[in-house]
A and B are shown apart, each in its own frame.
Chain A
Amino acid sequence: MSEKKQIRIATRNSGFIDPENIDSYIAAGGYLALAKCIEEMTPAQVIDEMKASGLRGRGGAGFPTGVKWGFAAGYKSDTKYVVCNADEGDPGAFMDRAILEGDPHSVLEAMAIGGYAIGGNKGTIYIRAEYPLAIKRLKIAIEQAEEKGMLGKNIFGSDFSFDLDIKYGAGAFVCGEETALINSMEGDRGEPYTKPPFPAEAGYWDKPTIVNNVETLAAIPAILTKGASWFNQIGTETSKGTKVFCIVGKINNVGLIEVPMGITLKEVIFDVGGGVPNGKEFKAVQTGGPSGGALTFKDLDVKIDYEGLAACQSMMGSGGMIVMDEDDCMVAVSKFFLDFTMEETCGKCTPCRIGSKRIYETLDRITMGQGTMDDIENLKLMSTVIKDTALCGLGQTMPNPVLSTMRVFEDEYRAHVIDKKCPAGVCTSLLEFVVVDEKCVGCTLCAKVCPVDCISGKVKEVHVIDQAACIKCGACLEKCKFDAIIKR
């Protein structure tokens, strides 16, 4: 991956230190920030420094971390919790896994700092069970930090103590939402509940709790060592620092990048990502996972920060970027995401449970060529209503893929409905496989490979595909050596 235009803060150590050896982390300046906080700063000063840095949550919502900590510090309670959200449910994003596997101590250190700042002594990492290597490295890291006295009782000889444990997810996307996550940590079904009260007031076991994302936490030791004024010089007016993105899909340089906020989409896709492979045309990039939306070839100059993405009906999300080229159908992609939310909705609130199904069915009809113009209007109407009425972030953001693709590609939706055509050639029900008469030499290969025997023609004569019987498997197209079969 090109290092050009990248600045590594959250991923500063990943790949450079031995994640299973605490000394390697310490040699890279690790646990200095924790020592500085405990020995030189009051909890209030730590919170002020976090506020001054302008760091906002990297888990999706972008809430200022210092402010969140300030709330939790303000509530009086005998027990307070620090929770690390390592559920990383957004398909197409794997930065949290990379950080936990490459630099687990930075997360532990930040959790201890958070505990010190809010006056809490207990931390829990909620991690998906699908990440066995990350779990193993976290366990090793916790053990080593306890041995060295950097976690556990009387850290650095002070009267501050902090204990950590790990809880496992069990494969439910909604559990990444903080209130659902808390229910799941308590051993229940991971259904969200209505806020307020926010977790900062009454979270895990109804005690004040701060929930922070892995990437947010990983940046904190660096911020506190180098100072808030160093960090807040990077980025834009409203979004400070850097963001880690996973660029995947139809892109030359696949992988993790960490770039300053405010970088343009063009720089990400073409300078850092190296453009789209096979000489294809860049069409769109999905940011923010199933809750996000598509930025398109028209948005190449958009500055990537929380506000910039929101203005395009998308969101930062956790930072997955799935690049799509001219061969991807936007209606099919929206349908894919709605299929995801339809399966992952917990079913607690009606707009999300039923709304996701209705939107999915409508999109399905459109991709089958059975859509009407009313369907397009209904999609917009349902989307707006669901956004306004769903209980948690899952439902509120569920229509984003539809709204953001409609914004630029409404003509693609219309083509499915009016012309019964899929311009990208993806939706099989709308495709036709036909023989080009001039090119067909009558070799009979296609007829032999057709699984439903719908191709007829004699040797050395032009063949014909019976459209009514064709199941559109594409086997003939692949087999033909003369490019005499096309799909349209």
Chain B
Amino acid sequence: MQTSTCQNSGDCKIPDRATLPRDLYRKLADFVAALPQKEGHMVTVLHKAQSLFGYLPREVQEFVAQQMGEPLAKVYGVVSFYTFFTMVPKGKYPISICMGTACFVLGAENVVESFQKVLGNIEVGEVTHDGKFSIDCLRCVGACALAPVVMIGEKVYAKVTPDMVKGIISDFS
């Protein structure tokens, strides 16, 4: 799992804990209650939790542990194993740059650098200070014929070159 420097330094903007909406916890509890059985559904529940909260901070993990009747260590073990799960919030527009082989061979590394530069030198895994953008690298989104590929939210950009980056960012401001 990718840990970002800002996560370690505590620099990123993590929303105030109290602001995690109560009704989302209720939704999650309902989801767990509706499962045919709890056994074997840890990953399923965490997927649900992340789709509700957007990320999986400690208190959400504690809640999942309590709902599933499992130790927190087990929940954390699963969360930290899979790259899809994140313990820090993503930007409003999460930028995912494919670093799969096809994209790499066609210059994805330079695209990453270009995004970093344009967004004020944030690291991969970090969020910009205004919380608007975050950069992540993915391993192949299965669109290799369009390499290098960048996804921002649901939107897919194909055959991206470093000089296209400024224009792409301005689509979102």
Contacts and interface: CB of A to CB of B under 8 A. Distances in A.
Interface residues of B, number: 33
Contacts, number: 112
A255 interface: yes
A187 B40 contact: yes
A328 interface: yes
A89 B101 CA distance: 11
B145 A248 contact: yes
Interface in B93-120: 98-106
A185 interface: yes
A346 interface: yes
Contact of B84 (A88, A129, A249, A322): A129
B31 interface: no
B47 A91 contact: no
Interface stretch (B7-15, B126-134, B136-144): B136-144
A94 interface: yes
Contacts of A167: 43-44
A286 interface: yes
A89 B139 contact: yes
A58 interface: no
Nearest to A286: B101
B18 to A, nearest CB: 28
A90 B140 contact: yes
Contact of A92 (B43, B78, B81, B144): B144
A470 to B, nearest CB: 17
Interface string A56-77: 0000000000000000000000
A94 B146 CA distance: 12
Contacts of A246: 144-145
Contacts of B81: 172, 189-191, 346
A91 B102 contact: yes
A267 B168 CA distance: 39
A322 B42 contact: no
Contact of B82 (A185, A190, A248, A322): A190
B82 A92 contact: no
Contacts of B142: 88, 94, 97, 130-131
B144 A171 contact: no
Contact of A172 (B40, B83, B138, B145): B83
Interface in A393-431: none
A321 to B, nearest CB: 10
A192 interface: no
Contact of B40 (A88, A92, A186, A324): A186
Interface string A305-347: 0000000000000001011100010000100110010001010
A171 B83 contact: yes
7 contacts: A92-B102, A92-B144, A169-B82, A187-B39, A187-B78, A255-B145, A336-B104
Query: Would you list the 10 A-B pairs with minimal beta carbon distance, nearest first?
Result: A91-B100, A187-B42, A91-B140, A170-B82, A171-B84, A94-B142, A170-B84, A171-B83, A248-B102, A92-B101
Interface of A: 88-94, 97, 129-131, 167-173, 184-191, 205, 246, 248-250, 254-255, 286, 289-290, 320, 322-324, 328, 333, 336-337, 340, 344, 346
Given A171-B139, A320-B144, A333-B105, 4 more contacts: A170-B47, A186-B39, A249-B105, A340-B139
Interface of B: 39-44, 46-47, 77-78, 81-85, 98-106, 138-145, 147
